[in-house]
Amino acid sequence: MVLIAGIILLIALYALLDPGQLVWAPKCPLYVFTGLQCPGCGSQRAMHALLTGNVADAWQYNALMVASLPLLAALAWAWCFRTRHPRAYAMLNSVPVIVTCAVAIVAWFFIRNFCL
């Protein structure tokens, strides 16, 4: 219940406020210390852009985050119904899926910092 309320609150917050303009929006430690963009940098701005209907901007801010939303939704569903649908959970959390996620995240870190 608290989780759902928190998610709704966050969605409302990011729909209304533009984190790119705010000084007090949370910052990424990796970016602050090294100047390198971490795999998740731009997620807040991308979220705001998505919630205001600006998919192209969202893609520009963090393509991986936008692309992974369906997978995250599926994982969230499987997590909620882990005991009711144990096979679905086991399928979505099988080794190939996790390894693909890990490789995608690490690859995205290198691509966005050194190739784009």
Partner 1 sequence: MSEGASPVASAAMETLNRGTRYRVGVVPESIFAGDLEAMAEALLGEKVDMLIVENYSHELPADFPVAHIMVLPGDDEQQLIDRLMRECPDYAPERSWAQALGETFDEKRTVPPPMPGSGAVPPAYQQAVQVPPQEQPQPAPGMQPEMQPGNQPGMQPGMQHQQRPVMPETSLLWSILATILCCVIPGIIAIVYSTMVSSKYFASDYAGAEKASRLAQIWVIVSIVLGCVFNALYVPLMLMSSL
Residues that bind partner 1 (CB under 8 A): 23-27, 29-30, 32, 38-40, 43, 64-65, 68, 72, 75-76, 79, 82-84, 86-87, 89-90, 92-95, 97-99, 101-102, 105-106, 109
CB 62 within 8 A of CB 46: yes
Pairwise CA distance, residues 113 & 115, whole Å = 6
Work out the angle at residue 88's Cα, subtended by the Cα atoms of residues 83 and 90, and round it to the nearest 5 degrees.
Answer: 80
The least CB distance from residue 68 to partner 1, in Å, is 7
The least CB distance from residue 41 to partner 1, in Å, is 9
